[in-house]
């Protein structure tokens, strides 16, 4: 899903509900059905998503397991909360809630909105990670050190509203 015409968009922080949320909006050249497969097909997820997602099927109420193959200690679970193929996918991932909204564009592509409801202390870390993941989803290849610069930018932007921001978990420092 290469989209070289649209530069990556930075996340916006929303603090109006019970938990903060980071929101991304991207325009992808692929149609919604293709983006949907990238969100739900295990093989396609490997190209851009930060973990493996194991599930029997994508349906409301389905259990999800998020596996970091090199760090099994971070394996966590979730549940599919909402699903309207190919427009809406919402699921919990541990304490986070991820919301993917797909809207067809006149160009034949897809406007993707990702909202991650997070704990306040990890908003900058997650925003930096999702920025890179969405770059990969769009067919990009972020630089190895891109996460650090993004995290610094988000930490600076988010700390006044949310307080101190945590960096990467132990064992992930070399990837950050």
User: Is the per-residue pLDDT at 8 higher than 70?
Assistant: no
Q: pTM score, two decimals?
A: 0.91
User: Is the per-residue pLDDT at 164 higher than 50?
Assistant: yes
How far apart CA 8 and CA 70 sit, in angstroms, is: 28
Residue 20, Cα to own-chain centre: how many angstroms?
15
End-to-end CA distance of the chain: give it in Å, rounded: 24
3-state SS assignment for residue 66: strand
How far apart CA 117 and CA 130 sit, in angstroms, is: 12
Helices (H), 23-172: 32-40, 42-45, 123-137, 146-162
Query: CATH homologous superfamily for 12-162?
Result: START domain (3.30.530.20)
57-76: average pLDDT: 94
* pLDDT per position as a tens digit, 77-131: 999 999 999 999 999 999 999 999 999 999 999 999 999 999 999 999 999 999 9
């Amino acid at each position: 899903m290469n989209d070289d015409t649209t530069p990556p968009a930075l996340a916006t922080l929303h603090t109006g509900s019970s938990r903060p949320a980071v929101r991304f909006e991207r325009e992808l050249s692929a149609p919604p059905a293709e983006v949907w497969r990238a969100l739900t097909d295990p093989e396609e997820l490997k190209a851009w998503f930060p973990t493996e997602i194991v599930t029997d099927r994508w349906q409301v109420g389905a259990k999800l397991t998020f596996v970091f193959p090199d760090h099994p200690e971070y394996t966590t679970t979730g549940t599919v909360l909402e699903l309207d193929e190919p427009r809406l996918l919402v699921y919990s991932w541990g304490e986070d809630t991820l919301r993917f909204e797909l809207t067809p564009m006149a160009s034949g592509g897809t406007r993707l909105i990702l909202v991650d409801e997070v704990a306040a202390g990890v908003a900058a870390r997650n925003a930096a990670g999702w920025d890179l993941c969405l770059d990969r989803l769009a067919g990009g290849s972020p630089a190895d050190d891109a996460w650090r610069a993004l995290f610094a930018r988000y930490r600076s932007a988010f700390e006044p509203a949310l307080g101190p921001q945590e960096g990467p978990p132990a064992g992930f420092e070399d990837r950050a």
